[in-house]
Copies of this chain bind each other. A is one copy, B any other.
C-alpha cells in the first residue's frame, strides 16, 4: 500500500477521482451503502473499465461480487486527494469572473472555503460579494496571514497576473489557479493551474470541422 500511495497519479485520474467523489456523494444522499463499479461509473458518466483502472491506483479496494462500501471509498478518495484538509481560498479580482467564482457552487464543495476576495479598484473595495466584503489589493499580505490562505484564484487581467504570482509565492501561497489568458512564469515550488476558456471554444471549433 505505502508503495502505491507514493506514486503520483496521472492528472486525468485525479480529475476523474473528483467525479467519483461527487457520484459517491449522490449515491450516499440517496441512501445507498454499497455500490458496484458499473453503477458508480454510470453515475459519474465514465467508462466502467476506466473507473476500475483508476480505483486500482488507490490499491485494491472493491471486493469481487460485493463491490464498494460507499462511505469507505469516498473517504479513501478524500484522503488521497488531500480533501480532508482545510483549504482556504483567496480570490484575486472582484469583477464579474471573480464574483462568479466566489459564488460558484463547485467551489463550496467539501474542504474548500472562499475566505476573502480582493480588488485594486476603489469602486469595488468595500462592496459585498455574497457574505464577503471586497478588500484592497494592497492588503494582500495581511489577508493571506489573517485567513491562512493556501489556495489563490486569479481572476485578474493578464497584465496583473505575473506580479501577483511572485507576491503569492513570497507569501507562501503555492497553489494557484489562474484564469488570466496568458502564459506565466511559475516560481519554484508553486503549483499553477491555468484555465483558458477560449481554448475550450477553439477545441469545439476544431471538433466541429472534423468530417
Contacts and interface: CB of A to CB of B under 8 A. Distances in A.
A101 B200 CA distance: 12
Interface string A180-211: 01011000000101011111111111111111
A208 to B, nearest CB: 5
Interface residues of A, number: 65
A74 interface: no
Interface stretch (A91-99, A115-123, A163-171): A91-99
A211 B95 contact: no
Contacts of A200: 177, 193, 195
Interface stretch (A9-17, A30-38, A137-145): A9-17
- Number of copies of this protein chain within its complex: 2
A129 B201 CA distance: 20
A210 B8 contact: yes
Contact of A18 (B43, B80, B198): B198
A103 interface: yes
